[in-house]
Structure 1
Amino acid sequence: MASLQGTRALIVENDELNAMLLQLQLEAEGLCVVGVACSVAEALQLLDEMQPQLAFLDYWLSHTETSTPVAEQLQQRGIPFLVATGMDTSQLPPVFDAGIKLAKPYTGADLSQALAHSLAIS
């Protein structure tokens, strides 16, 4: 997938193991992970500092925080994003309709397809 090569990606995930596995998957797809955030504040800071071209969000973060404010900023800036959740994706706030939704658990093939689709619609 040449279109993914070198794409700067931000990961917003509070589970360290999941973040590490996702980073490995994204790098295997040719993306360059420019930051991993575990909170909304950290994600917004990295969004400003690292200027990602794509973001991968976990919906539920620590301390009952959700990635909704991050999705709102991504939508306003026109940055494509994917969101993963274990809940029914139709229950996500409307802002997530601007991104690609992945239901957990998902496969590597699901991730590859979602990545390609997110860049195709951006």
Structure 2
Amino acid sequence: MGSLEGTRVLVVENDELNAMLLQMQLEMEGMLVGGVAATVSTALQMIDELQPQLVFLDYWLACNENSSPVAERLRQRGIPFLVATGMEIDQLPAVFDAGVKLSKPYTGSDLSQALQRALAPA
């Protein structure tokens, strides 16, 4: 999928194994993973530092946080994002309507399609 090639992406995921697997999947799509954040504060700082073109969010993060504040910052800045969750998609807070929602568990094909949708022009 050529449109993903070279896209700078930030991963916001607190589970190290999931983050590592996701990073490998994104790199296989040709994306450049700039970093991984496990908490809201780290994610907000990395957004400012890395200027990602896309952000992958897990809904639940470390320290009983969720990624709603990160989604709000991304929405305000017009940075595309997708959120993955094991909970019912319609239970996500409204701020996530600005991004692409992905239900866990998902396949590599599901991820690829979600990434394409997230980066598609509005």
What is the identity percentage for the equivalent residue pairs of Structure 1 and Structure 2?
70
Q: Which residue pairs with 2:49 in the alignment?
A: 49
Matches within 5 A, 1:81-92: 81-92=81-92
CA contact (8 A) 2:82 2:99 kept: yes
| CA distance in structure 2 between the partners assigned to 1:33 and 1:61 by the alignment | 18
Matches within 5 A, 1:55-66: 55-66=55-66
| CA distance in structure 2 between the partners assigned to 1:34 and 1:118 by the alignment | 18
Amino acid at match of 1:71: A
Runs (4+) of structure 1 exceeding 2 A deviation are none
Q: What TM-score do you get using the length of structure 1 for normalisation?
A: 0.98
The answer on 1:7 being equivalent to 2:33 is: no
Q: Which residue pairs with 1:76 in the alignment?
A: 76
How many angstroms does 1:121 deviate by? 3.5
CA contact (8 A) 2:39 2:63 kept: no
* Superposed CA RMSD: 0.7
The answer on 1:40 being equivalent to 2:40 is: yes
How many angstroms does 1:39 deviate by? 0.2
Query: Number of residue pairs matched?
Result: 122
Deviations 1:50-97 (A, max 9, x none): 000000000001121000000000000101001000000100000000
Q: Which residue pairs with 2:20 in the alignment?
A: 20
